[in-house]
């Protein structure tokens, strides 16, 4: 049976969630959820539809404000920060469906994730000051490097809408990585992908963790991917944490089997 891991208050926990509760009218989306993610780990977040996984992501990334509880990233209280400040706290995310601008180029879409890396103001961009131009050139070069690094094999000037679905997901990941996050939240990255693309995705996520020193939390229904890449898995059911441990332990937990994986 999956076990609840003993909570250790150490500096190793990049993400620390305590007693997080979120309600919409009379519906409780999250109920007293605790979560710890160790720096450098890949953590899987699993559960059936409606379990609260995306709601938890939305709280961590500032889209929702919980009714109770706390969220800290690297010791900083996320709930005291404005949603637009999340990227400066080192938090980046992707979505279940890629949120791209299909008529703009791949490069332009990636650059949308880099606004926090530019020091200029509107006037400096209007005047095209030398420092501003240097920063923009460096950011464009880094965006191109990320596209190549993630295996997006299309010219940078290709309209994003022309990419196949799997490449669109990698493009959105490149956009998130341009901000140089310490915590990357991936919301169902394998959804809609072919088997071979899921295998590639798993290698990409592990590569990002190792090469870019990024801690990753993955919401995912694809248990093969979760088993292949995660250090630690947490299961939610109806807004409550019901199991925690390795992928194997969580998969074999009777509550998880009944609620999510099915008895077969």
- What are 103-159's pLDDT values in tens digits? 999 999 999 998 765 555 444 545 455 666 777 888 999 999 999 999 998 999 999
- Strand 240-245 and strand 13-24: the pairing is unpaired
Spatial contact of 162 and 171, defined as CB atoms under 8 Å apart: no
Q: Which of the four pLDDT bands, split at 50, 70 and 90, describes residue 65?
A: very high
Report whether 64 contacts 22 (CB < 8 A). Answer: yes
- Alpha-carbon 220 to chain mean position: 11
Domain boundaries, the chain: 1-90+181-264, 100-178
Residue 160: band (very low, low, confident or very high) from pLDDT cuts 50, 70, 90: very high
Q: State phi, psi for 206 to the nearest 5 degrees.
A: -65, -35
* pLDDT winner (highest mean) among 31-35, 82-86, 138-142: 31-35
Judge residue 226's burial from the number of C-beta atoms within 10 Å of its C-beta, 0-12 exposed, 13-18 middle, 19 or more buried.
buried
Predicted confidence (pLDDT) per residue in 94-117, tens digit: 999 889 999 999 999 999 998 765
Query: What architecture is domain 1-90+181-264?
Result: 3-Layer(aba) Sandwich (3.40)
Between CA 186 and CA 209 the distance in angstroms is: 12
Nearest Cα to 69, choosing from 3, 10, 16? 16
Name the pTM for this structure.
0.88
Q: What is the CA radius of gyration of the chain?
A: 19
CA pair distance 101, 110, nearest whole angstrom? 10
User: What does 6-48 look like in DSSP terms, one character per residue?
Assistant: PP--STTEEEEEEEEEEEETTEEEEEEEEEEEETT-EEEEE-S
Buried b (16+ CB within 10 A) or exposed e, 160-171: beebeebbbbbb
Question: Residue 9: which pLDDT band, with cuts at 50, 70 and 90?
Answer: very low
């Amino acid at each position: 049976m999956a076990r609840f891991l003993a909570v250790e208050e150490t500096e190793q926990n990049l993400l620390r969630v305590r007693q997080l509760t979120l309600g919409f009218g009379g519906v409780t989306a999250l109920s007293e959820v605790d979560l710890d993610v160790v720096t450098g780990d890949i953590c899987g977040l699993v559960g059936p539809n409606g379990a609260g996984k995306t709601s938890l992501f939305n709280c961590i990334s500032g889209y929702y404000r919980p009714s109770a509880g706390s969220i800290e990233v690297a010791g900083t209280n996320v709930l005291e920060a404005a949603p637009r400040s999340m990227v400066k706290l080192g938090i980046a995310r992707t979505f279940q469906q890629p949120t791209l601008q299909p008529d703009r180029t791949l490069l332009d879409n990636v650059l949308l994730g880099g606004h926090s890396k530019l020091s200029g103001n509107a006037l400096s961009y209007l005047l095209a000051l030398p420092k501003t131009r240097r920063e923009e050139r460096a950011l464009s070069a880094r965006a191109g490097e990320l596209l190549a690094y993630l295996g997006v094999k299309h010219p940078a000037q290709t309209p994003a809408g022309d990419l196949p679905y799997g490449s669109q997901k990698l493009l959105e990941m490149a956009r998130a990585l341009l901000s140089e996050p310490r915590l990357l939240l991936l919301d169902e990255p394998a959804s809609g992908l072919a088997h071979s693309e899921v295998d590639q995705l798993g290698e990409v996520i592990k590569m990002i963790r190792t090469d870019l020193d990024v801690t990753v939390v993955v919401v995912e229904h694809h248990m093969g991917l979760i088993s292949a890449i995660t250090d630690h898995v947490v299961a939610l059911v109806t807004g409550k944490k019901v199991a925690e441990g390795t992928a194997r332990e969580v998969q074999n937990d009777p509550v998880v089997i009944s609620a999510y994986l099915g008895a077969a």
